[in-house]
């Protein structure tokens, strides 16, 4: 079977490919992997359509330029890759409300979307507060053997387990 058609890849293959992608990013862009700045830049682009003077005077946007760059290409590649992967693996159907979520919070797709949106807002707020995202701190940092990358990964796992236990206590998996 072609590896591209599999529903789940070997973690060893995926890890190796992430390492190659990281090496390629350093080679071609001189930057580690990361995408959280893309969302901030997108907000700056949208804001500049209605208040360009505010964006040009904003200290954050002076430091984090509002532009299309290599991070945009990674973000688009993630979306395109997920779409292509779902088509090739024939795993196209999604579920608006996963069973575990429905058992804990009810079957409302609106509540699920609101939860996902608020989770995303918290995630991007935390990523910008920390100066990077999971791919920037965790993947790129740990691949460079930075202590901060390993501490970040440990915190991700601990907080993920704690959050799952808090949100889904009593739910069946």
- One DSSP character per residue, 51-66 reads -HHHHHH-HHHHHS--
8 Å CB contact between 4 and 88 = yes
Kindly report whether the global pTM for this prediction surpasses the value 0.85: no
Tokens of 118: 């608020």
Ranges of residues in the chain with a pLDDT under 70 are 1, 170-173
Q: What CA–CA distance (Å, rounded) separates 146 from 136?
A: 11
Contact predicate 42/140, CB 8 Å: no
What pLDDT, on a 0 to 100 scale, did the predictor assign at position 170?
A: 57
Residue appearing with tokens 């292509």: 84
Specify whether the backbone of 58 is left (phi greater than 0), alpha (psi in -120 to 50) or beta.
beta
């Amino acid at each position: 079977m072609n590896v591209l058609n599999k529903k789940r890849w070997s973690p060893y293959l995926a890890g190796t490919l992430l390492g190659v992608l990281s090496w390629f990013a350093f080679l071609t862009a001189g930057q580690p992997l990361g995408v959280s700045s893309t969302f901030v830049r997108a907000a700056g682009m949208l804001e500049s359509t209605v208040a360009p003077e505010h964006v040009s005077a904003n200290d954050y946007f002076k430091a984090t330029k509002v532009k299309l760059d290599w991070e945009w290409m990674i973000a688009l590649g993630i979306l395109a890759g997920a779409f292509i992967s779902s088509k090739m693996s024939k795993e196209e159907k999604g579920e608006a409300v996963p069973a575990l979520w429905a058992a804990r919070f009810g079957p409302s797709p609106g509540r699920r979307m609101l939860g996902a949106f608020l989770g995303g807002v918290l995630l991007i707020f935390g990523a910008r507060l920390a100066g990077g995202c999971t791919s920037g701190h965790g993947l790129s940092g740990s691949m460079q053997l930075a202590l901060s990358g390993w501490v970040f990964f440990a915190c991700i796992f601990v907080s993920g387990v704690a959050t799952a236990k808090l949100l889904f206590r009593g739910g069946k998996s």
